[in-house]
Copies of this chain bind each other. A is one copy, B any other.
Amino acid sequence: MQKVAILGIGQTPISENWDKSLREIAGDSAFAALQDAGLEKVDALFVGNMLSPLINAQNQLGTLLADWIGLWHQEAVKVEAACGSGAAAFRAALMAVASGEVESALALGVEKMSDRTSHDVTAALATAADADYEAEAGVSFVGLNALVMQRYLHEFGWQHADFAPFSINAHANAMHNPYARLHEKITAERFERSAMVATPINLLDASPTGDGAAAAVLVPAHKVASLKNRPRLLVAASSASTDTIAVHSRKDPLFLNAAYASARRCYEMAGLAPQDLDVFELHDAFTIMAALSLEACGFAERGRGVQLGLDHEITPGGRIPICTRGGLKARGHPVGATGMYQIVEVAQQLRGECGATQVEGARTGMAQNIGGSGATVVTHILRAD
């Protein structure tokens, strides 16, 4: 596979954005990424989005956005893998450039969720689960994750309060990210007092949705120079894996098989071990997912992911910094856009642009985006060259 580099990145602040439409938000991130790359256009556009048919009455989003952005007559397509859509679009763009079919591509994740009621959005998010065997039974997406967390507490003997460090770290880091949805420090006390959503998941275990878009420009690596104060950002590894879509079909619902397989293949491709990574943007849609991701990706034994938080190993100065820009928990989770935010944030770390939450000397970082309750996992490792 031909080596591919990230030439530019862009993102929009995540919020309830009443003043801009879906296409305007997407356009903002696209123009920022193109400007950052110093390009006016690219050969192809790959859009990651989950909910536009259901929330925005819009299909054919790739072409709609190519039209809006001014990529007239260029190739454009939408890629969907529930909350893993963003990274899936990035991987599609990567393969297009790596195959030689296109010379440049824009990967863009976008979601505009505020235009409907919470009730509508909850129903729309449930389409990530198995319609016939999960959603039809009435279980919501947070409900599925609550079942998993409850089982984890039972199986490994943790208390709910032990998950607080994940949320505290995410909120603390988001204070320094102007694009984050929430700028609000929290304490362990507040974490425990927070309103229950679906036992044992409370409001501060769960990530907020929102409107947002993030994008990156990909080109063959040989076309990019490594500049003194701006390293060349190589895509060192990329892998996608799946698990059963229904949680109840898994032999062990407490192990993220697809995250394990996808990360392991990335380590092989990049020639790295977990301890070689400087930063890990993981998919903390709920605090339980942060723990399970750390375990599946080799940073902790089964049932021990929570300990990393308690030991302060997940902060920007810790052994494996996660959610350095706020994570899904506090940067926000505009579902189909999240995977692209993660890629953009790892790129920012490798470019040394993260200020107070900069991981010193970061050279390699991993981004892992998850669709459904661990059903689709897309992992990338970036390296500063």
Report which A residues bind B (CB closer than 8 A): 1-2, 21, 23, 44, 50-51, 53-54, 56-64, 66-67, 71-82, 84, 88, 91-92, 94-96, 98-101, 124, 126-128, 130-132, 135, 238-246, 249, 257-258, 261, 371-372, 375-376
Contacts of A240 on B, CB cut-off 8 Å?
A: 44, 75-77
Contacts of A76 on B, CB cut-off 8 Å?
A: 81, 240, 242, 376
B88 touches A77 (CB 8 A): yes
Contacts of A60 on B, CB cut-off 8 Å?
A: 80-82, 84, 127-128, 245, 371-372, 375-376
Number of chain copies forming the complex: 2
A77 touches B127 (CB 8 A): no
B98 touches A64 (CB 8 A): no
> Quick one: closest B residue to A82, CB to CB?
B60
A63 touches B75 (CB 8 A): no
A242 touches B131 (CB 8 A): no
Shortest distance in angstroms between A46's beta carbon and chain B's nearest beta carbon?
9
Shortest distance in angstroms between A60's beta carbon and chain B's nearest beta carbon?
4
A74 CB contact (under 8 Å) in B62, B99, B101, B241: B241
Closest 8 CB pairs of A and B: A99-B99, A98-B99, A60-B82, A59-B127, A75-B240, A58-B131, A95-B99, A78-B80
Contacts of A72 on B, CB cut-off 8 Å?
A: 242-244
A376 touches B128 (CB 8 A): no
B92 touches A77 (CB 8 A): yes
Contacts of A66 on B, CB cut-off 8 Å?
A: 242
* A81 to B67 Cα, complex, angstroms: 14
Apart from A66-B242, A76-B242, A98-B101, what are 17 other A-B pairs with CB-CB below 8 Å? A21-B132, A50-B59, A57-B127, A60-B84, A60-B128, A63-B243, A63-B371, A63-B376, A67-B242, A72-B242, A73-B243, A75-B242, A76-B240, A77-B80, A96-B99, A98-B99, A99-B99
* A99 to B76 Cα, complex, angstroms: 18
> Quick one: closest B residue to A260, CB to CB?
B73
B81 touches A63 (CB 8 A): yes
| A127-B63 contact given A1-B100, A77-B88, A376-B76, CB 8 Å threshold | no
